[in-house]
Chain A
Amino acid sequence: MAAILAVLEQRNGEIKRVSHEVLAAARGLADGMGAEVHALLIGAPGMSADGLGGAGADKVLLAADDSLGLYQAHRYAYIAAQAGTDKAAVVLAGTAMGKDLGPRIAARMGAPYFNDVKTMEGSGEITITRPMYSGKAIATVKITASPCVLSVPPNAFAPVDAGKAGATEDVAVPAPVEPARATTVEIKEPEHAVLDVAEASIVVAGGRGVKEEGDFNVVEELAAALNGAVGASRAVVDNGWRSHSEQVGQTGKTVSPNLYIALGISGAIQHLAGMRTSKVIVAVNKDPDAPIFKVADYGIVGDVMEVAPRLTEEIKKISEG
């Protein structure tokens, strides 16, 4: 049975956490067809394959070259497509790199490609499920062509403890084509250190329940304690307390973090439209009949000004303790 290729990602030689999720996805698929998982790691020399066997890789292919430390799209695609041609499927993560690399590998291999894959199974024919129409529908797709390229979103597959060998093998890196078509020259630090509300995996948003502008720090402090982003309801932005870039809702941003904490937000549909696909929703509101409690997974009925600081305190204890 042909193996599954798991294309991993490194930054400065360190393997990204999401690669363990990719291995988990690949492992699931491989076990279903009695196949091996071969991981591919492309980067500068000195990359460590530690832990990759445990995370599910039977073999780890290392494609190392000084010129490959930063992501070079065309060259990475070439190497991955070479490694993928004799495989049953290629799996990678939907990171910034993966979203660019995945389609390229597929085009090079003449293989179908799907991103945002939530489930994958099958042998010979692989069947996947993925969202469509901004998450308003789930599609089931049967892939008869082989191999195919599948990209999984972060946080969709939990890393596994697979205890595989993870034996490393060096892969030849073709010399770069001259003149280079495109070159990644640097990674700049972002201009704004502020975590964007639409990108964060934890969002703490404040609404009218935060009485005064000066009190909004309870929202900021909780967000900081959780390493999350600050969000705001339309009412708060209309009052001028926060900028429109933090507004969550139909006329603001649509967010889908792992955890969304709504502080003093009543839950008008316009706001819900912007966050209802969050994985876990927590609501704190003085009004037990507030509509937000209908969509929240967990709720506390109480004054935001009392509950939020206590929440911040307890969270800090966990991260410090």
Chain B
Amino acid sequence: MARTLITPSEFQAPLPQEALIDSGPPDEERIDMDVLFVGGGPAGLAGAIMLAKLIKEDNEKGDGVGEVSIGVLEKAGSLGEHSLSGAVVNPRPFRELFPELKDEDLPFGTPVTGESVYVLREKRAIRIPTPPSMKNHGNYVVSVCELVRWLGEKAEEAGVDVFAGFPAGSLRVEGEKVIGVKTVATGLDRDGNPGSNFMPASDILAKVTALAEGSRGMLAQAYMEWQRIKADNPQIFALGVKELWETKKPLDRVIHSMGWPLPNNAFGGSFLYPLESNVVSLGLVVGLDYRSTSLDVHELLQEMKLHKLFKPYLEGGEMIEWGAKTIPEGGYFSVPSRRCGHGVVMLGDSIGLVDVPSLKGVHYAMQSGIYAAQAIFGALKAGDYSAKVLHKYDRLLDDSYIIKDMHKTRNVRLAYNKGFYRGSMKAGLMTITGGRFPGKKIKMEPDAAVPKRVKPAKPFSPDGTLTISKVDAVYKSGNITRDDIPCHLIAKEGVETAVAEFYSHLCPAGVYEVEDGKLTINPPNCVDCKATDILGPRWTPREGGAGPAYKRM
């Protein structure tokens, strides 16, 4: 009998815990650092910069902690290449991190000068008043790539060692304590045998490891599972597919839309931001609890571009980049109860610090890095790296504007679990009452536990100019991963056709294809968005430098 429903979790392999929590003895050939930030994104870099500052100030006072080696590990070949976001950023943490710099010297990009919100129908765009949570006065449209590169320079200036091209493959532990990470081997062939450029994985040990791997961070997941750290709700995610376009028609404000082309039982919306006078960034974000197996975010974005709200900005222009990434959307109730442990703290998106209604997470990530640095500094001063001392990070976070903001909007996204209209009504009520009503936690299932109806896919014929295929999209992401890279995705054997087809629509980069009814995997295509890890085959990092090479996403 043909299958009518697919519950993704039934077909998923579990996270390979034994491989991810490594308690073996450290290598002879290893690097010893004092503090290691895993992930060179806004959270990791802000944390490293803040820590370097605190140490410097302390040493200048006399009787300081002395020289402290701080490292940042980044899996992309260069900083920024795996960074992707909308993005409209609140400049607050920049001012805290760089009080000596003037606003003009900060990498703020274009200030938001206006905004419009629309509900889309297939042929219409109905303007609605901008919800207060989405007002962006005082904020800036930035490219998170450029932001990360700028932060990277500041980190290097502050004496931080940035190691780009080195993914962390597992956590090194001693008892309950995290003592560092092990990187990933380079130069293996398709069958996992060492090729000519083989470099084995290395141990990097540190007194404190700060996990800042971003959305669906692998090691953060592994640590929380190992230490049984829970949150009120499981984390839920959305997949965003984004494009950067050179435009002939200037855009003077940020635009958000909801409704078409998403079905009523999917949560999400689009954004169109002016990045520069002749460059716009545009994307579609869809909650992964969508209900149909053939929903394809990339294809929906392509369809969306033909709508009269967007098309005028794209016609005659040129698509310069394409990319995809997931965003944690669980909000307040999905932030874990504890974000630190012996020798470890967790930052940013990997603990879900994103406010969904305002679509903001970059400044929260940086702020969490700043708080982590303060806690780690305290640990260095005390010479004590236990959870008790690092717990200062938890307190700083809980008392901060981050958690207060997220608390106000704690149910807004969750309200949509029953569909767009009921969700909008509930969300509207929450906004008016400042979050007080409906205020009780709305229980959520993990995305993979939400069954999806098996539906045939709509035919998709990209024209190659305004709309593009996934293969061409991957090219535009700057992905030049070598063709014979070993497969980094853990899929169950013998996946049935309907599930294979679901995967082919799930992945925006065309990693999964169905040939003769069977699942085929194209690992080089992967752009590390993590949608697969959430609903399909589990993701592990490839060798450093693999994946996309975003430039201004």
Chain A residues near B (Cβ < 8 Å): 234, 237-238, 244, 247, 250-252, 268-270, 273, 289, 291, 294
Contacts and interface: CB of A to CB of B under 8 A. Distances in A.
Contacts of A234: 483
Interface of B: 461, 464, 469, 471-472, 474-476, 480-484, 524
Given A250-B475, A251-B482, A269-B472, 20 more contacts: A234-B483, A237-B483, A244-B483, A244-B484, A250-B480, A251-B480, A251-B483, A251-B524, A268-B469, A268-B471, A268-B472, A268-B475, A269-B471, A269-B476, A270-B471, A270-B474, A273-B475, A289-B461, A291-B464, A294-B464
Contacts of A244: 483-484
A247 to B, nearest CB: 8
Contacts of A250: 475, 480
25 contacts: A234-B483, A237-B483, A238-B483, A244-B483, A244-B484, A250-B475, A251-B480, A251-B481, A251-B482, A251-B483, A251-B524, A268-B469, A268-B471, A268-B475, A269-B471, A269-B472, A269-B475, A269-B476, A270-B471, A270-B474, A270-B475, A273-B475, A289-B461, A291-B464, A294-B464
Nearest to B520: A238
Contacts of B475: 250, 268-270, 273
Nearest to A252: B483
Q: What 8 A-B pairs come out closest when comparing CB atoms?
A: A269-B475, A268-B471, A269-B472, A270-B475, A251-B483, A291-B464, A251-B480, A250-B480
Contacts of A238: 483
Nearest to B476: A269
A294 B484 CA distance: 29
A290 B480 CA distance: 23
A25 B476 CA distance: 40
A181 to B, nearest CB: 34
A230 B481 CA distance: 24
Contacts of A273: 475
A264 to B, nearest CB: 16
Contacts of A237: 483
A268 B525 CA distance: 13
A247 B524 CA distance: 16
A207 B148 CA distance: 40
A247 B476 CA distance: 20
B80 to A, nearest CB: 21
Nearest to B474: A270
Contacts of A268: 469, 471-472, 475
Nearest to B462: A291
B179 to A, nearest CB: 38
A289 B474 CA distance: 20
A270 B524 CA distance: 12
Nearest to A273: B475
Contacts of A247: 483
A252 B476 CA distance: 17
Nearest to A270: B475
A234 B484 CA distance: 11
Contacts of B481: 251
A291 B464 CA distance: 8
A56 to B, nearest CB: 44
A41 B484 CA distance: 48
A244 B476 CA distance: 23
A206 to B, nearest CB: 17
B196 to A, nearest CB: 13
